[in-house]
């Protein structure tokens, strides 16, 4: 995967997971669709997803930073 794709995926995924964790977006949506009984299980899915996407963002950021440094060194040779 390209480095920019990893970074974009991490940022978008973390933003969506954070939005659903810290606001009642999914509670309202699940209630409207008739899945309100599943609201109690949202934390067991959303928190690991948030941690995963934040870790992916950090990984992609440092991989991108390291990759640009190496590409500059190769051009100098």
pTM greater than 0.85:
no
Gap between the Cα atoms of 26 and 29, Å rounded = 5
pLDDT digits (tens, 9 = 90+) for 9-68: 999 999 988 888 887 888 888 889 998 888 888 888 889 999 999 999 999 888 866 655
Provide the token pair at 32. 């409207």
Residue with tokens 């950090």: 58
């Amino acid at each position: 995967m390209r480095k920019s794709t990893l970074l974009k995926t991490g940022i978008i995924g973390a933003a969506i997971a954070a939005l659903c964790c810290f606001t009642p977006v999914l509670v309202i949506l699940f209630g409207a669709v008739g899945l309100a009984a599943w609201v109690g299980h949202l934390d067991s899915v959303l928190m690991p997803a948030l941690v995963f996407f934040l870790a992916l963002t950090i990984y992609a950021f440092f991989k991108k930073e390291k990759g640009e440094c190496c590409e500059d060194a190769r051009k100098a040779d």
